Amino acid sequence: MLLACAVPGMLVSTASACADFTRAPSSRWQASAEHGISWLVTPCGDRFFSLGVNVVDGGVQSARPSYAWVRYYPDPLAFWTATRGRLLSWSFNTLGAYSVPAQLLKFPVTFDIRLGQTAGFHWIDPFHPDMGEAMKAWAAYLVGPYRGNSMRIGYFSDNEIGWWNGTLYAFYVKKPASNHTKQRLVTLLREHYSGDWHRFTNDFVVHNLNSFDALLHSEERVPTLRPGGAGIQAVRRWTAQVAGHYYRLVHDALRAADPDALILGDRLPIYYDPVAIKAMQPYVDVISVNYDVDSADGWIGRYFFDGLRRLADKPVLISEWFYSAHENRSGNRNSAGLMTVATQAERAQGAGTAVHNFARQPAIVGLHWYLFYDEPAGGHSGGDHNFGLLDIHNEPYAEVVAALTQANAQVMEVHRAAPLPESTTTTHLPYARIDPNASTLNAWPKPASLVLPWTPSAGEVPFGDLYATWSEQGVGLAFQGMDYYDFDLLAHDGPFPRTEAFRIWIGIDAGAGPQRFVLNLIPRERKDGEPYDHTPELCGVADSGCPPVEGVQARSFWFSQPRINAKVLIPWTVLGIKPASHPAAVRLDVAATAFFRSRWMSLSGLPPEEALARPEQWRSLHLSPAVSSTR
């Protein structure tokens, strides 16, 4: 039976609502929460969980082997009819970003209108007095074709702005004094340092400048962070100010242009700066994130969504997610370093599991798969990825669409039963023989190996997850998190200072006395086009230098920044325990320091150096027998 107002052909058991949008009483979409679970609400008043596909279009003819509808259908109507039937049969209910207009397929749709980019907000002069009016004028023009359409859910204002703090600072500090944004930046720096130039130079290395007025009129070398200083906090304040200005202008422009549409944010790029989330909170209806799952088995990081909840407590739309496989029929090489597995069977398993894991997050209101068909060789951004539900020959990947069809059909039920956030303190370590050289967390029992809770520095949220296991080998630790650095933002000659690197501090006592280690993830200098990457360096804790640690295996894996992924295996013998034996419990503290010491977190709640110096504060964790994995 169909709802009175739902997508025609979509059953109630799917994430459906509003069967005949032409009969909707208005075009107003909303976001709401019931008993702590977030939902979209259609113009008919029905709860809606958006299951979308991005780039649903006809493709293009290309010199490279690629998808193009004209090869497979006699006319556009035949293509649209077949495509609509496929999406409905796979239990999708939304057209995601970069898709055809809603009326062609009669699906709800989300639009990326590139408002800030089109209006000239980015990289010109966002604080120009005329910017607000320009945003309003462009918003009215860009949403004009969709205003009042009940199938229009809402608008992404831009795509993956990112709010890369070092870039925002370095770009505008070199602008001329006439640039209104440069004026705002210097005003902020002057205020942050109470007009004291000497205090500024304690945090920044400057060249041939002696005042804030001189800085305003300088277009030469960028003042860079002084190692050991606190200048990153001024840079983060600047990021917050620019982001807040952007989101306010977007809000005012879109509310004026189409007040019944949802403001869906700017599709964050698998990373967020907490200051930007705080800045957007008053101005968006939904926070949208382009997300890459955290393990090939479909696991997603707890810290990421917990942080969004603590910072903004808004509904979250996964505006882009994906899996690729090396086994594919399009010849894709999967060259961009994103989530890639070996076979289509693994891809199907991971994707189906991920749908359930996303739906179990109470704040998530939708998932949009990227994309409808595979990229051509050397495709978008050089990615050349097997992202498609279809190959370039118009054939569905049967295992993948079967897994997604089943998972999509269960989404409403799973989401309705999503567990609400609760405070959990880990007291036991599960048994698992892990391979420290593996590039995924598939073998780690999850969520049993997740160690909770973190306590972050004042005003911050946790920026990573810690996993811990034990076996006959020793204690295994894995860290997955996020952070961002700009290599050129820091003043340094020679190697990048380890004190400014991302650092994971480990204190552990297996009964033979406390042992202390620090894993430094040191940025590598890069050329244009190369990935941001870092070199792992494991040290014993000392007043200076990096005393080597024999026997401990440590590595980073899978992603470069803004993702942080590291594993450590500490043998029992390093902890003073005889081979083939182990204690009943260990005492453990782990802390993390972000790049440039911008923030920290620890299990004990103490700053990292203090945490390691106070083993009496380390948490006692009992060693449990093997447990089954819940993914």
Tens of pLDDT, residue by residue over 86-103, are: 999 999 999 999 998 877
Each residue of 247-274: pLDDT tens digit? 999 999 999 999 999 999 999 998 999 9
Alpha-carbon span 496 to 288, nearest angstrom: 34
Q: Is the pLDDT of residue 322 over 70?
A: yes
Query: In angstroms, rounded to a whole number, what is the distance separating the alpha carbons of residues 252 and 132?
Result: 8
CATH architecture of 428-626: Sandwich (2.60)
Task: List, for residues 521-577, the tens digit of each pLDDT value.
Answer: 998 877 776 667 788 999 998 777 899 999 999 998 876 668 999 999 999 999 999
Per residue in 225-243, pLDDT (tens digit) is 999 999 999 999 999 999 9
User: How confident is the model over 329-342, as pLDDT tens digits?
Assistant: 999 998 767 899 99
Query: What does the pLDDT average to over 377-399?
Result: 86
Q: How do residues 593-622 score in pLDDT, each as one tens digit? A: 999 999 999 999 999 999 999 999 999 999
The pLDDT assigned to 224 comes to: 97
Q: What is the pLDDT of residue 2?
A: 34
- Rounded to the nearest 5 degrees, what angle is found at the Cα of 510, between the Cα atoms of 505 and 512? 110
Return the pLDDT at 337.
72
pLDDT for 84 equals 95
Using 50, 70 and 90 to split pLDDT, how confident is the model at 423? confident
Residue 302 scores a pLDDT above 90: yes
Render pLDDT for 159-217 as a digit per residue (tens, 0 to 9): 999 898 899 999 999 999 999 999 999 999 999 999 999 999 999 999 999 999 999 99
Give the burial string for 142-167 (b: 16+ CB within 10 Å, else e): bbeebeebbbbbbbbbbbbbbbbbbb
> Is-contact 370 321, C-beta < 8 A?
yes
Prediction pTM value:
0.94
CA angle, 40 then 41 then 43, to 5°: 140
Q: Taking 50 as the threshold, does the pLDDT of residue 13 lie above it?
A: no
State residue 152 phi and psi, 5-degree precision.
-80, 110
- 3.20.20.80, 3.40.50.720, 3.40.50.300, 3.30.565.10: CATH of 21-108+152-161+263-416: 3.20.20.80
Does position 9 have pLDDT exceeding 80, yes or no?
no
- Residues facing residue 59 across a β-bridge: 68
Where in the chain are the domains?
Answer: 21-108+152-161+263-416, 428-626
Q: How far is CA 71 from the centre of its chain?
A: 37
- Best-predicted range by mean pLDDT among 20-24, 98-102, 305-309, 338-342? 305-309
Write out the two tokens for 568. 């450590």
34 bridge partner residues: 37
Mean pLDDT of 483-493: 90
Q: pLDDT (tens digit, 9 = 90+) per residue, 535-548?
A: 899 999 877 789 99
Q: Given this model, what pLDDT does residue 12 score?
A: 35
Lowest mean pLDDT among 25-29, 470-474, 533-537: 533-537
CA nearest 161: which of 267, 244, 56, 240?
A: 267
Section 306-326 average pLDDT: 97
Could you tell me what percent of the chain has a pLDDT over 70? 94
